[in-house]
Chains A and B, each alone.
Chain A
Amino acid sequence: MSDIYGEILLDHYRLPRNKGRLEHPTLSVEGVNPLCGDELTLDLEFDGQRLKDIRFSGKGCAISVASASMLTEALKGKTVEEIERWIGVFREFIRTGRAPDGVELGDLLALEGISKLPVRVKCATLPWSALEEAISRYRG
């Protein structure tokens, strides 16, 4: 198997960014990984169309925790439209293992080997699926 447990991923697992709960979230969503029962909660605080703050909580494997940590880091401060674009980019990236042309993925690139580990794809996409639900609920 390709080595998914690289330094960037492990760094996000050991020292996750934006971990915890928000005091006044606009909304909270939960995601469950049916493979292992891992649960993850995303708290989002919007200021109009902009995601002012985001935090995640719950227990998970290194891949789901790192993926959630990277998600919060990449999307804090983005607009709803930008976030929707990012969700599409991430899904494409996880499916193919390649970033779409002209997109800078940053730390998320650490997940590039996931496309070859079909069982673990659910771990990486867990926080993103929760985010997608949050956005669709926010848009109402």
Chain B
Amino acid sequence: MKTVEEIRRDFPILSLKVNGRPLVYLDNAASSQKPIQVLNAYCRFCESRYANVHRGVHTLAETATGDYEEARKTLADLVQADARGVVFTRGTTESINLVAQSYGRKFIKHGQAILMTPMEHHANLVPWQVLARAVGAELRFWPLNQDGTLDMVEGRKLLDARVAMVAVAHVSNVLGTINPVREIVEMAHRVGAKVLVDGAQAAPHMPVNLSEIGADFYAFSGHKMCGSTGIGVLYGRPEILEDMDPFMTGGEMIREVWLDHATWNEIPHKFEAGTPPITEAISIAAAARYLQEIGMDWIHAHDTMLTARAWELLAAEPGVTLYGPAGERGALVTFNVAGVHPHDLAALLDRDGIAIRAGHHCAQPLHRWLGVQATARASFYLYNTPEEVDALLEGVRAAKKVLQLV
């Protein structure tokens, strides 16, 4: 078992100095850093195994195709799902758009409803708005409790037979709320609705068992789990993917093409038009293996320890408002400091080498619900330390001194 110090040595960027200070990287919910194992896997693949996949019959075409399909199995294994249901996409955003278009346009009808929550990232909100307008579906929103958890009693009332799709975040990227997705899937399936879970903030941080959760669709991104940008996963239950129309069309996704029509390849290839992100798939698979070696249980426990420490320290600091549930939560804390705009806070922390996110975090409706325009967010990962959480608190105190109104 690696120590955090050993894990940190795997990440070259963590030895960087920013503005003369050691980098304290607390913007992991936006994107995570990459370990040398992932960078090396990418390089080795490009140096000795690379070619296009599912086309040529030469040696490199065979090795690259083998590695690419092996990557699919690695990702399926990470979330305990059937590899036939694992589609490589550009990221969570594309995964959700794929479902909204390919499933939604075919199966969601006029007068049916799409049930979402006010805590969704724009990526799990806007595609459904567009779909609803196109097919004449109704949008419904699962109410929140004051602490930013889902109101399970009120939500249940909205979940009637007209609901065709429930789209919900596994972990909120602002509130940190961990939603009871297994329970939601059970409730939804009882009324015949499908469920898409946005796992962008969950899959990198905790064990995810899709055979247990039972979601019809589950989406996550490579770059938030130590892999590269430009790749993500859509898991779809194979029998549903079979019935869906393609998302994009072109090469790779076809079986036979005539001048005036075409037939589709088998799943998951039906949804991978054009040359897929091959090197990115190698990278995300190397990242999944790296995380599994450390252990998803260990990562979740480590994140939880850091998050609890941050919550406790910030809650005791005068002028700090924290958002979301106080107990069990995802690997982030979102807050505001009275008299200090989050952008100024982030800029002032940056002077001390501390990277956090400030703004609306692609969740404007949620910020309206919170009654604020913007928030600051510190988010943690396997390579962060308790000392870095303490540095965050010191940075917040320093920023208050610089900016506080006199």
Using CB atoms and an 8 Å cutoff, list the residues of chain A in contact with chain B. Answer: 1, 3-5, 10, 13-14, 35-39, 59-63, 117, 120, 123
A1 in contact with B341 (CB, 8 Å):
no
Query: What chain B residues lie within 8 Å of A37 (beta carbons)?
Result: 359-360, 364, 367, 373-374
Q: Digitize B341-372: 1 where CB-to-A-CB distance is under 8 Å, 0 elsewhere.
A: 11110011011000000111000100100000
Q: Digitize B385-406: 1 where CB-to-A-CB distance is under 8 Å, 0 elsewhere.
A: 0000000000000000011011
List the count of A-B residue pairs having beta carbons below 8 Å apart: 52
Query: What chain B residues lie within 8 Å of A14 (beta carbons)?
Result: 405-406
Pick the residue among B351, B358, B406 that contacts A3 (CB under 8 A): B351
B342 in contact with A36 (CB, 8 Å):
yes
A117 CA to B344 CA in the complex, in Å?
13
Asked if A36 meets B347 with Cβ closer than 8 Å, knowing A5-B402, A10-B402, the reply is: no
Query: What chain B residues lie within 8 Å of A1 (beta carbons)?
Result: 19, 347, 350-351
- Which 7 residue pairs spanning A and B have beta carbons closest together? A61-B341, A37-B373, A61-B343, A36-B374, A62-B344, A61-B344, A36-B359
Measured between C-beta atoms, what is the minimum distance from A12 to chain B in Å? 12
Closest residue of chain A to B359, judged by CB? A36
Measured between C-beta atoms, what is the minimum distance from A49 to chain B in Å? 36
Pick the residue among A4, A39, A60 that contacts B341 (CB under 8 A): A60
Q: Is the interface of A mostly helix, strand, loop or mixed?
A: loop
A1 CA to B343 CA in the complex, in Å?
14
A82 CA to B43 CA in the complex, in Å?
58
B373 in contact with A39 (CB, 8 Å):
yes
Measured between C-beta atoms, what is the minimum distance from A87 to chain B in Å? 24
A1 CA to B21 CA in the complex, in Å?
12
Query: What chain B residues lie within 8 Å of A35 (beta carbons)?
Result: 343, 359
Query: What chain A residues lie within 8 Å of B341 (beta carbons)?
Result: 36, 38, 59-62
A62 in contact with B351 (CB, 8 Å):
no
Measured between C-beta atoms, what is the minimum distance from B70 to chain A in Å? 39
Query: What chain B residues lie within 8 Å of A39 (beta carbons)?
Result: 373
Interface centre among B360, B374, B405 (most CB of A within 10 A): B374
A14 CA to B358 CA in the complex, in Å?
21
Measured between C-beta atoms, what is the minimum distance from A133 to chain B in Å? 21
B343 in contact with A36 (CB, 8 Å):
yes
B373 in contact with A38 (CB, 8 Å):
yes
Interface centre among B344, B358, B359, B405 (most CB of A within 10 A): B344
Measured between C-beta atoms, what is the minimum distance from B322 to chain A in Å? 19
Knowing that A36-B358, A36-B374 are A-B contacts, what are 6 other residue pairs whose CB atoms are under 8 Å apart, sorted by A's residue number? A4-B347, A5-B348, A35-B359, A38-B373, A61-B342, A61-B343
A–B Cβ pairs within 8 angstroms, 27 of them = A1-B19, A3-B351, A4-B347, A5-B344, A5-B347, A10-B402, A13-B403, A14-B405, A14-B406, A36-B341, A36-B342, A36-B358, A36-B359, A36-B360, A36-B373, A37-B360, A37-B364, A37-B367, A37-B374, A38-B341, A39-B373, A60-B341, A61-B343, A62-B344, A62-B403, A117-B347, A123-B343
A59 CA to B403 CA in the complex, in Å?
15
Q: Digitize B310-350: 1 where CB-to-A-CB distance is under 8 Å, 0 elsewhere.
A: 00000000000000000000000000000001111001101
Closest residue of chain A to B404, judged by CB? A14
Measured between C-beta atoms, what is the minimum distance from B328 to chain A in Å? 29
A61 CA to B341 CA in the complex, in Å?
5
A84 CA to B19 CA in the complex, in Å?
38
Query: What chain A residues lie within 8 Å of B343 (beta carbons)?
Result: 35-36, 61, 63, 120, 123
A120 CA to B374 CA in the complex, in Å?
15
Interface centre among A36, A38, A63, A120 (most CB of B within 10 A): A36
Interface centre among B343, B359, B364, B405 (most CB of A within 10 A): B343
Measured between C-beta atoms, what is the minimum distance from A110 to chain B in Å? 14
Query: What chain A residues lie within 8 Å of B374 (beta carbons)?
Result: 36-38
Query: What chain B residues lie within 8 Å of A13 (beta carbons)?
Result: 403
Query: What chain B residues lie within 8 Å of A120 (beta carbons)?
Result: 343, 347
Interface of chain B residues 1 through 60 with chain A (CB within 8 A)? 19
Interface of chain B residues 187 through 215 with chain A (CB within 8 A)? none
Query: What chain B residues lie within 8 Å of A10 (beta carbons)?
Result: 402-403
Measured between C-beta atoms, what is the minimum distance from B367 to chain A in Å? 7
